[in-house]
Chains A and B, each alone.
Chain A
Amino acid sequence: MQSAVDTALQKYLIDMVTSKIAELRKKELIFEAKYKYDYKTFSQRIAEDEEFAVYTENNINKMWESELAEWEFCHKGIDDWTKKLRNILMMQ
């Protein structure tokens, strides 16, 4: 009986974490399409290239800083949840 509960709980956790990863990836794809870069490339370039920052503000989003924070949450959040998923699977 306890084993069945544990299995059900584990399945629930796996479904939840998988869903979170998919949700964050969906949002990240929107940022990638909007800014035409992946997170790592964009975040590095925007911090080193003043002309690129001005271009981004004039042509894509004047408040790129806010979306960069949200993008970081999505990008790094995928890693966070993937590690969590790995830990859950290792408990099997």
Chain B
Amino acid sequence: MDKKTSEYFDDAIISASSVFEDIEYNTDVTPERAILQIWGKYNLYRISVTELVDCETRKYRYYILKGNRVEAGFDNAPDPRAIRLRYGKIGKEYAGRHIPHLHLNDKTEIELTEEMTFSDFVQWLKRNITNENT
């Protein structure tokens, strides 16, 4: 794992430890890539975080769950619904492109977003998920 990724993972774990309860995390590396997974609780919500980093891309998944319901989920997966929102259609020419987006209302709604970092996610969480929501 390069120094930049290592520091990013360390910062995310420290931040998660201070913001979430019952935190668990896992990291693993290969010679070419690194993965970080974090699970925790925020108020009554379960939080699931995955970061996959290689020399070219950073893939992220930030999910807020209540029971099995996805209250909100930020990710940049090549989701066909996000691809259609971005390009107007789904096709092989767009397959595999990483499109930052947000799932809402148990994944029945989707909107495009800017690229997110873990820090952005925590800020969003603090702004949008309060005790009033729980």
A residues at B contact (CB < 8 Å): 20, 43-44, 46-50, 53, 57, 62-63, 65-66, 68-70, 72-73, 76-77, 80-81, 83-84
Contacts and interface: CB of A to CB of B under 8 A. Distances in A.
Contacts of B63: 63, 66
B134 interface: no
A53 B92 CA distance: 15
A48 B95 contact: yes
Contact of B30 (A20, A44, A48, A49): A20
B33 A62 contact: no
Interface residues of B, number: 33
A49 B50 CA distance: 23
A72 B52 contact: yes
Contact of B90 (A48, A66, A68, A73): A48
Nearest to B60: A69
Contacts of A83: 31
B31 A70 contact: no
A65 B61 contact: yes
A48 B48 CA distance: 25
Contact of B92 (A46, A48, A69): A48
A50 B82 CA distance: 10
